[in-house]
Chain A
Protein backbone atom coordinates (compact mmCIF):
# COMPACT_ATOMS: atom_id res chain seq x y z
CA UNK A 1 0.00 0.00 0.00
CA UNK A 2 1.39 3.38 -0.98
CA UNK A 3 2.16 5.87 1.76
CA UNK A 4 1.28 9.54 2.01
CA UNK A 5 2.55 11.39 -1.04
CA UNK A 6 3.36 15.09 -0.98
CA UNK A 7 4.26 17.16 -4.00
CA UNK A 8 6.42 18.94 -4.74
CA UNK A 9 9.27 17.99 -2.41
CA UNK A 10 10.99 21.35 -2.73
CA UNK A 11 9.81 24.82 -3.65
CA UNK A 12 11.45 28.20 -3.84
CA UNK A 13 9.13 31.20 -3.99
CA UNK A 14 9.49 34.94 -3.81
CA UNK A 15 7.98 37.07 -1.07
CA UNK A 16 4.44 38.11 -2.01
CA UNK A 17 3.76 35.15 -4.26
CA UNK A 18 1.33 32.37 -3.47
CA UNK A 19 1.94 28.64 -3.35
CA UNK A 20 -0.14 25.46 -3.45
CA UNK A 21 1.03 22.20 -1.91
CA UNK A 22 -0.56 18.83 -2.57
CA UNK A 23 -1.08 15.73 -0.46
CA UNK A 24 -2.42 12.32 -1.43
CA UNK A 25 -3.35 10.27 1.64
CA UNK A 26 -3.07 6.54 2.10
CA UNK A 27 -5.84 4.76 0.23
CA UNK A 28 -8.93 4.52 2.43
CA UNK A 29 -7.83 7.29 4.78
CA UNK A 30 -10.31 10.15 4.82
CA UNK A 31 -8.76 12.42 7.44
CA UNK A 32 -5.91 14.67 6.28
CA UNK A 33 -4.02 17.06 8.53
CA UNK A 34 -1.35 19.63 7.75
CA UNK A 35 1.54 20.75 9.96
CA UNK A 36 4.23 23.39 9.67
CA UNK A 37 7.69 22.53 10.98
CA UNK A 38 10.27 25.24 11.67
CA UNK A 39 13.42 25.23 13.83
CA UNK A 40 12.02 27.95 16.07
CA UNK A 41 8.40 26.89 16.52
CA UNK A 42 8.69 23.14 16.04
CA UNK A 43 5.68 21.26 14.69
CA UNK A 44 2.49 23.27 14.60
CA UNK A 45 -0.95 22.10 13.52
CA UNK A 46 -2.43 24.00 10.58
CA UNK A 47 -5.75 22.30 9.86
CA UNK A 48 -7.53 18.99 9.44
CA UNK A 49 -9.99 17.90 6.77
CA UNK A 50 -12.40 15.03 6.72
CA UNK A 51 -14.89 14.30 3.94
CA UNK A 52 -14.11 17.63 2.27
CA UNK A 53 -14.89 19.58 5.46
CA UNK A 54 -12.45 21.41 7.69
CA UNK A 55 -12.84 19.87 11.17
CA UNK A 56 -10.18 21.73 13.06
CA UNK A 57 -7.94 24.72 12.50
CA UNK A 58 -4.74 25.86 14.16
CA UNK A 59 -3.70 29.35 15.05
CA UNK A 60 -2.48 30.59 11.69
CA UNK A 61 -3.45 33.71 9.72
CA UNK A 62 -6.05 33.59 6.99
CA UNK A 63 -3.29 33.51 4.36
CA UNK A 64 -3.13 29.80 5.06
CA UNK A 65 -6.01 27.85 3.62
CA UNK A 66 -6.75 24.35 2.50
CA UNK A 67 -9.28 22.10 0.90
CA UNK A 68 -10.01 18.45 0.40
CA UNK A 69 -11.41 16.78 -2.67
CA UNK A 70 -13.89 13.93 -2.95
CA UNK A 71 -11.03 11.44 -3.42
CA UNK A 72 -9.55 12.64 -0.06
CA UNK A 73 -6.60 14.35 -1.72
CA UNK A 74 -5.86 17.67 -0.08
CA UNK A 75 -4.20 20.92 -1.00
CA UNK A 76 -3.02 23.77 1.11
CA UNK A 77 -2.47 27.28 -0.16
CA UNK A 78 -0.42 30.10 1.26
CA UNK A 79 -1.01 33.52 -0.22
CA UNK A 80 1.16 36.62 0.00
CA UNK A 81 4.17 34.64 1.14
CA UNK A 82 6.42 36.02 3.85
CA UNK A 83 9.98 35.07 4.68
CA UNK A 84 8.72 33.48 7.90
CA UNK A 85 6.64 31.01 5.92
CA UNK A 86 9.81 29.15 5.00
CA UNK A 87 9.32 25.75 6.57
CA UNK A 88 8.80 22.06 6.06
CA UNK A 89 5.09 21.43 5.50
CA UNK A 90 3.96 17.98 6.50
CA UNK A 91 0.76 16.21 5.60
CA UNK A 92 -0.63 13.33 7.64
CA UNK A 93 -3.47 10.95 6.92
CA UNK A 94 -5.51 8.98 9.40
CA UNK A 95 -8.05 6.21 9.29
CA UNK A 96 -11.34 6.89 11.01
CA UNK A 97 -12.68 4.19 13.30
CA UNK A 98 -15.87 4.75 15.20
CA UNK A 99 -15.74 8.41 14.21
CA UNK A 100 -12.35 9.02 15.78
CA UNK A 101 -9.00 9.22 14.01
CA UNK A 102 -6.36 6.59 14.62
CA UNK A 103 -2.62 7.25 14.45
CA UNK A 104 -1.36 9.62 11.78
CA UNK A 105 0.92 8.59 8.93
CA UNK A 106 3.10 11.36 7.58
CA UNK A 107 4.41 12.17 4.15
CA UNK A 108 7.99 13.25 3.50
CA UNK A 109 6.98 16.89 3.43
CA UNK A 110 7.37 19.86 1.12
CA UNK A 111 10.32 22.12 1.87
CA UNK A 112 9.23 25.68 1.08
CA UNK A 113 11.82 28.41 0.91
CA UNK A 114 10.66 32.02 0.57
CA UNK A 115 13.29 34.46 -0.70
Chain B
Protein backbone atom coordinates (compact mmCIF):
# COMPACT_ATOMS: atom_id res chain seq x y z
CA UNK B 1 0.00 0.00 0.00
CA UNK B 2 0.88 3.66 -0.11
CA UNK B 3 3.41 4.85 2.47
CA UNK B 4 5.53 7.82 3.51
CA UNK B 5 8.99 7.68 5.08
CA UNK B 6 10.55 10.64 6.85
CA UNK B 7 14.00 11.11 8.25
CA UNK B 8 14.17 10.33 11.92
CA UNK B 9 14.54 13.11 14.41
CA UNK B 10 14.97 14.96 16.50
CA UNK B 11 16.75 17.56 14.42
CA UNK B 12 18.51 20.24 16.43
CA UNK B 13 19.73 23.37 14.68
CA UNK B 14 21.00 26.78 15.63
CA UNK B 15 18.99 29.83 14.61
CA UNK B 16 19.63 30.89 10.98
CA UNK B 17 20.87 27.43 10.00
CA UNK B 18 19.71 25.67 6.84
CA UNK B 19 17.04 23.02 7.26
CA UNK B 20 16.36 19.88 5.26
CA UNK B 21 13.89 17.22 6.30
CA UNK B 22 13.84 14.27 3.94
CA UNK B 23 10.61 12.63 2.82
CA UNK B 24 10.12 9.80 0.34
CA UNK B 25 6.91 8.10 -0.65
CA UNK B 26 5.50 4.98 -2.24
CA UNK B 27 2.23 5.25 -4.13
CA UNK B 28 0.52 3.40 -6.92
CA UNK B 29 -1.39 6.38 -8.28
CA UNK B 30 -0.61 10.07 -8.70
CA UNK B 31 -0.64 11.44 -5.17
CA UNK B 32 -0.77 14.97 -3.92
CA UNK B 33 1.94 15.67 -1.35
CA UNK B 34 1.77 17.81 1.76
CA UNK B 35 3.82 19.07 4.65
CA UNK B 36 1.97 19.69 7.89
CA UNK B 37 3.35 21.23 11.07
CA UNK B 38 2.23 20.58 14.62
CA UNK B 39 3.07 22.93 17.47
CA UNK B 40 2.90 21.65 21.06
CA UNK B 41 -0.66 21.03 22.21
CA UNK B 42 -2.11 21.87 18.81
CA UNK B 43 -3.58 20.11 15.81
CA UNK B 44 -1.92 20.00 12.41
CA UNK B 45 -1.54 23.03 10.19
CA UNK B 46 -0.96 22.76 6.46
CA UNK B 47 2.44 24.21 5.65
CA UNK B 48 2.59 23.62 1.90
CA UNK B 49 1.43 21.28 -0.82
CA UNK B 50 2.17 20.09 -4.35
CA UNK B 51 -0.30 18.29 -6.55
CA UNK B 52 1.79 17.11 -9.50
CA UNK B 53 5.35 16.26 -10.49
CA UNK B 54 7.82 19.18 -10.50
CA UNK B 55 5.43 21.42 -8.58
CA UNK B 56 7.10 23.47 -5.86
CA UNK B 57 5.10 24.26 -2.75
CA UNK B 58 6.22 27.19 -0.63
CA UNK B 59 5.05 29.05 2.46
CA UNK B 60 6.66 31.09 5.26
CA UNK B 61 10.14 30.51 3.80
CA UNK B 62 9.68 26.74 3.57
CA UNK B 63 9.87 24.99 0.20
CA UNK B 64 9.43 21.47 -1.14
CA UNK B 65 9.55 20.15 -4.71
CA UNK B 66 7.55 17.13 -5.90
CA UNK B 67 10.17 14.84 -7.48
CA UNK B 68 8.48 11.92 -9.18
CA UNK B 69 11.73 10.39 -10.45
CA UNK B 70 13.08 10.04 -6.90
CA UNK B 71 9.63 9.79 -5.22
CA UNK B 72 10.67 12.52 -2.82
CA UNK B 73 9.28 15.72 -1.31
CA UNK B 74 12.05 17.10 0.89
CA UNK B 75 11.29 20.14 3.06
CA UNK B 76 13.83 22.98 3.09
CA UNK B 77 14.23 26.37 4.70
CA UNK B 78 17.19 28.65 4.24
CA UNK B 79 17.26 30.18 7.72
CA UNK B 80 15.32 28.68 10.60
CA UNK B 81 14.02 30.60 13.60
CA UNK B 82 13.31 29.51 17.15
CA UNK B 83 9.60 29.82 16.34
CA UNK B 84 9.98 27.03 13.73
CA UNK B 85 10.47 24.50 16.53
CA UNK B 86 7.69 21.96 16.02
CA UNK B 87 6.93 18.51 14.62
CA UNK B 88 6.80 18.29 10.83
CA UNK B 89 4.77 15.65 9.00
CA UNK B 90 5.03 14.66 5.37
CA UNK B 91 1.81 13.22 3.93
CA UNK B 92 0.28 12.01 0.72
CA UNK B 93 -3.25 11.84 -0.52
CA UNK B 94 -4.13 9.80 -3.53
CA UNK B 95 -6.96 12.11 -4.44
CA UNK B 96 -7.02 11.39 -8.13
CA UNK B 97 -7.65 7.69 -8.14
CA UNK B 98 -9.47 7.14 -4.87
CA UNK B 99 -11.36 10.42 -4.66
CA UNK B 100 -11.13 10.55 -0.92
CA UNK B 101 -9.61 12.87 1.62
CA UNK B 102 -7.59 10.11 3.29
CA UNK B 103 -4.08 11.19 4.20
CA UNK B 104 -1.15 8.87 4.82
CA UNK B 105 1.44 10.38 7.12
CA UNK B 106 5.09 9.86 7.79
CA UNK B 107 6.21 9.36 11.37
CA UNK B 108 6.97 13.03 11.92
CA UNK B 109 10.27 14.82 12.50
CA UNK B 110 10.80 16.95 15.58
CA UNK B 111 12.72 20.14 14.92
CA UNK B 112 14.31 22.08 17.76
CA UNK B 113 15.92 25.42 16.96
CA UNK B 114 18.23 26.91 19.56
CA UNK B 115 18.96 30.64 19.83
A and B associate in one complex: yes
**Interface positions of A (Cβ within 8 A of B):** 4, 6, 31, 33, 35, 42-43, 45, 48, 50, 55-56, 58, 90, 92, 94, 99-109
Interface residue count on the B side (C-beta < 8 Å): 25
CA gap between A58 and B41 in the complex, in Å: 25
> Smallest Cβ distance from B71 to chain A, in angstroms?
20
Do residues A48 and B43 form an inter-chain contact, with CB atoms below 8 A?
no
Do residues A43 and B89 form an inter-chain contact, with CB atoms below 8 A?
yes
Q: Is the interface of A mostly helix, strand, loop or mixed?
A: strand
B104 at interface (Cβ–Cβ under 8 A)? yes
Partner of A106, one of B43, B49, B104: B43
Which residues of B are found within 8 Å of A102, using beta-carbon distances? 95
Which residues of B are found within 8 Å of A45, using beta-carbon distances? 102-104
Chain B 86-115, CB within 8 Å of chain A: the 1/0 string?
000100010110111111111110000000
Do residues B103 and A92 form an inter-chain contact, with CB atoms below 8 A?
yes
Q: Which residue of B lies closest to A59 (CB)?
A: B1
Do residues A104 and B46 form an inter-chain contact, with CB atoms below 8 A?
yes
